Amino acid sequence: MNKQRENTKRVNNKRSTKSLLYKAVIILAVLIVLVLAALWISGNESEQLLSREQAEQAVLKEYAGTVESLRLQSGKYVAELETAQGLYELKLDGATGDILSIVLLKRAAEPAVQPTPAASQAPAGGATAAPSPAPSPSAQRVVSEDEAVRLALQEVAGEPDDVDTGINDSGAFYLVEIKTSDGREAVVQVNAISGSIMSVTWEEPDGDNS
C-alpha cells in the first residue's frame, strides 16, 4: 500500500511539474510575441518620421537662414531659425516636413550708430548740439495675432475667418482672411513688426477679382 501511494504521489508530482512547465512556456511565448510586436510598431513609426537632417533641409528649403536648434516633440519637429530679420520658431510635420506654423521670437537688433569725431565736438558759435532722438519703443514691438486681426478689420470690415503667418525678404507678416457681409473674401497682409497693411487681395465668389 505504501509503495502504491508513493508511486501515485510521484505520478501526480510529475504531472504537476509538466503542467507548470507548459504554462511557463506559454507565458514566455506570449511575452516574446508582445515584445516583437512592440518593436515592429516602434520601427514602423520611426521609419515614417523624417530624420533631423531631412527636417533641417526642409526648413532651409523654404527659408534662408541658420537652424539654431531642432527637436522632436509629439511627432512634430520644432526648429529655431536665425535670419536677417530675427529669430523664428517653426513647427514642421514630422512625416512630411511641411511648415505648420512660424512665429517671430526675437527681432534682429539694429546695429548701433557710432558717433563720428566731428559729432563729439561742440559746433561753431557755441551752440549746443541737439541730442539724437531715441528710438521709438514701438519699433521694437512685435504685433500679436490678435492685434493683426484688429488692424485687418480696420482695413476691411467683416468677420475674421483664418489667420496664417509667413516670412519673405521684407520680414514676417500675417495673412488675415475676412468674410464680408456681401459674401466676398479678402486676404489682408499685415506686417508683423510695424502693423502696417502690406496688401489686400479680394476673392470674388464667381472667381472674378475686384
pLDDT in tens, the chain (210 residues): 666 666 676 766 677 777 788 788 899 888 898 888 777 666 555 558 889 899 999 888 888 889 999 999 888 999 999 888 788 888 888 888 888 888 878 877 765 544 445 444 444 554 444 444 444 443 345 788 899 999 999 989 999 999 998 888 777 889 999 999 888 899 999 988 888 888 888 876 655 444
Please indicate, yes or no, if residue 11 is contained in any of the structural domains: no
Q: Is the pTM of this model over 0.75?
A: no
Note whether 61 and 103 are same-domain residues.
yes
Please indicate, yes or no, if residue 154 is contained in any of the structural domains: yes
Confirm if 202 and 188 have CB atoms less than 8 A apart: no
Number of domains, the chain: 2
Q: What is the edge-to-edge ordering of all strands in the sheet holding 66-73? A: 66-73, 76-82, 86-93, 99-107
Please indicate, yes or no, if residue 115 is contained in any of the structural domains: no
Domain at 167, CATH number: 3.10.450.40
Distance CA 58, CA 97 (A): 6
Burial category of 189 from C-beta neighbours within 10 Å (exposed 0-12, middle 13-18, buried 19 and up)? buried
Please report the beta strands in 83-184, taking only residues with DSSP state E, as ranges in sequence order. 86-93, 99-107, 159-168, 171-179
3-state secondary structure of 57: helix
Please indicate, yes or no, if residue 184 is contained in any of the structural domains: yes
Please indicate, yes or no, if residue 16 is contained in any of the structural domains: no
Domain containing 199 equals: 138-203
Please indicate, yes or no, if residue 128 is contained in any of the structural domains: no
